[in-house]
Chain A
Amino acid sequence: MAIGTTEVLSTPATQSAGPWRTAWRDLRRNKVAMGSIIVLIVIFAACLAAPLYASSVMHLDAFTSNLDGKFTVNGVTGPVMQSSDTGLGLGVNPIGPTWLWNNFFLGADNQGRDVMSRLLYGGRNSLVIGLVSATLCCALAGFIGIVSGYFGGGLDAVLSRGLDVLWAFPVYLLAICLSVVLINQSLTIGPITLNSGSIILPILIIGVIYVPYVARPIRGQVMSLREREFVQASVGAGATDARLLRREILPNVLPTLIVFLPLMTAINMLTESALSFLSIGVQPPDASWGTIINDGVGLLYTRPMVAIAPGVMLAITAVALNLLGDGVRDALDPKARLRGAV
């Protein structure tokens, strides 16, 4: 039997046990997908444990400047911020990675704070912002792309030009503007009141700005699908638009959205750092992987690990999400099931 695939994704296991159970069984058999889930769980757990790591292992607050800090390794004590003592003695650099679990494992940043602690804390913001904004983006894009491609005509023209405006819109200008406006005021959107430190703001901005990027391919796909034999046949058989969209179009579009979701998550985590840089979203001394990368770019020549570590985390997360997405899609295989039903 055919079922609405969105429901399968959003409400687990409760309804029509058959296909869902099959899918879940397929997924469980997929070693790569299960491996990805484990990796993601480990990353989530580690990020949740950030306060524990900072207080009980590292014994250093991750958000307080530590420019005068000292560290001790193998009985040798030195300053965290080390002045250059060769040549003209110019420059002060934070210590590099010690590779000791409990002592500046990845070194310190330009405030003398532990990079490892900040990486774990930063993961919380990055994961939330990346995942929520990517989901928002794909949901909006899926909706607009399908409506635009399916109904065509005037509606398509209006929506498409709206996407053009959005795509050509200088987001950085808006971000600069918001960053200054929000210093003294907060922004009220309906019932929600936002200040510049709220992470809802970057989620909304990032979620919306990439909508054209996902919506346009979906629209093209739907335009092409609409003319296919099996859709035309359904139209001939008197199927309603709602039924067509749900049973023919959506299942065919979903795999594309599943591919875009992890990609957009990675892109969004990076875009978030650009907005943070402009004082929208994650604010100092708070961190995200993107903001740590920003800090690290300034330390590229001396402490490359500050930028590499969050970059690696970001890549691992994106790869795991991609592999999981593939697994989910294979397990659901909506097209095969759809074809069985027709």
Chain B
Amino acid sequence: MLRFALKRAVAAVLVLFAISVLVFLIFFATPGADPAARIAGRNASQETLQQVRESFGFDKPLPVQYALMMRHLFIDRDLTSFVNRGVEVIPQIKQAIPITLSLVIGAAIIWMFFGILMGVAATAGRGSAVDPLIMIIGVIGVSLPVYWLGEVVNLMTQSRLHDSFFSWVPPLGYAPLSSGVWNWASHLIMPWMTLAVLYAGIYARVLRSEMVGAMNEEYVRMARAKGISERRVLWRHAFRTSLIAIVSLFGLDFGALIGGAALLSEVVFGLQGVGKLTYDSLQNFDLPVILGCVMYAAFFVVLANFLVDLVYALLDPRVRHV
């Protein structure tokens, strides 16, 4: 187990290295990406442009620039933004993490609850109208662009029905947990639901498929033949073996979302999380922040997949890691 963890730690460093190099190269491969002119400002004289280029080290060879940036990010931990100068990247990310965590954990609970409920109900209701109905609802959820959905939710809760049905919905933005549980939750209910709509559909679909498959398996049939109740068969046997696919998906989704992939939800609901930070940095083409956000995201993707592989063994003890 320890060896396994160590191996994965080394692999994680390699993954982070690979991604940081890719990001760095892609950034500088973009024509017009040279930050000097953007930093120097409109109509800056050529001398000023040159001064900026030198003072930021843009005249140095790329490997040197890369090494310097990594040093500032990981060793000195004082990497600063090109655009909002004086703003350090690491504190910015730290500040954003609780917001993203609040959003993603809440949404994950909702989508796991509804995804599993819908998936199991669809399996149990095979052959009746329940099954296709649940599936259609799920697929519609997948087909809704989250940004559009968010804007519609805002239109309803902040504008059209703001004075009546949704008068309890606070202004957009985030309120920390320390300001009261209800205050925190009420700011997040709409974002949670919006984000969960997309994922619940996918999970319900995949879970149903796995469970229907499992219900046909020999051992499930045997269990049935032994007279074990349908409900017990459904939950104890079919559900449990079907969880592998769900856990894989959850690992990927959760890792990516914590890493900032919920950027559109965060943007549309005005939540200053990691996703919003990533989004702004891409908008501003602000390499240090992009790099910081991507490194942070990659870390969580690797971590989540590591945990998923551990859970496999729990769910299906026959699966062993070498």
Contact = CB atoms under 8 A, between A and B. Distances in A.
Nearest to B290: A173
B27 A173 contact: yes
A213 interface: yes
A273 interface: yes
B297 interface: yes
Interface string B141-164: 011110110011001000000000
Interface in B79-96: none
A256 to B, nearest CB: 6
A224 B31 contact: no
Given A181-B31, A212-B252, A307 B148 contact: yes
Contacts of A143: none
A243 interface: no
A297 B148 contact: yes
B135 A216 contact: no
A157 interface: yes
Nearest to B212: A255
A161 B14 contact: yes
Contacts, number: 175
A168 B217 CA distance: 36
Contacts of B195: none
Interface residues of A, number: 65
B142 A267 contact: yes
B39 interface: no
Interface stretch (B44-52, B67-75, B242-250): B242-250
A273 B23 contact: no
A173 B147 CA distance: 19
B143 to A, nearest CB: 4
B151 A256 contact: no
A157 B11 contact: yes
A160 to B, nearest CB: 7
A173 B33 CA distance: 11
A153 B322 contact: yes
Given A153-B322, A170-B294, A173-B282, A322 B312 contact: no
A208 interface: no
Given A181-B30, A220-B312, A224-B241, A168 B145 contact: no
Given A157-B11, A167-B256, A170-B290, A319 B140 contact: yes
Contact of B151 (A164, A297, A314): A297
Contacts of B218: 230, 339
Given A168-B297, A216-B251, A336 B256 contact: no
A276 B136 CA distance: 27
A221 interface: yes
B252 A300 contact: no
B322 A224 contact: no
B301 A168 contact: yes
B244 A220 contact: yes
B179 interface: no
Interface of A is mostly: helix
Contacts of A336: 216
A163 B123 CA distance: 31
A225 B15 CA distance: 28
Interface residues of B, number: 68
Interface in B254-301: 255-256, 259, 278, 282, 285, 290, 294, 297-298, 301
Contact of A217 (B19, B33, B248, B285): B248
Interface of B is mostly: helix
Interface string A301-335: 10000010001001100110011001001000001
B295 to A, nearest CB: 9
A161 B245 contact: no
Contacts of B312: 220, 223-224
B32 interface: yes
B208 to A, nearest CB: 8
A260 interface: yes
A241 interface: no
Contact of A177 (B15, B27, B143, B145): B27
Nearest to A333: B216
A180 B135 contact: no
B148 A296 contact: yes
B171 interface: no
Nearest to A158: B11
B27 to A, nearest CB: 7
A170 B285 CA distance: 13
Contact of A263 (B30, B139, B245, B322): B139
B2 interface: no
B30 A180 contact: yes
A293 B145 contact: yes
Nearest to A290: B145
Contacts of A184: 31
B81 to A, nearest CB: 16
Contact of A32 (B132, B246, B290, B318): B132
Nearest to A174: B26
Contacts of B259: 168
A311 B144 contact: yes
A220 B245 contact: yes
A45 interface: no
Given A180-B32, A318-B142, A169 B19 contact: yes
A124 interface: no
A315 B285 contact: no
Interface in B99-147: 132, 135-136, 139-140, 142-145, 147
Given A164-B301, A170-B290, A270 B143 contact: yes
A219 interface: yes
B305 interface: yes
A109 to B, nearest CB: 15
A165 B18 contact: yes
Contacts of B255: 167
Contact of B294 (A168, A213, A224): A168
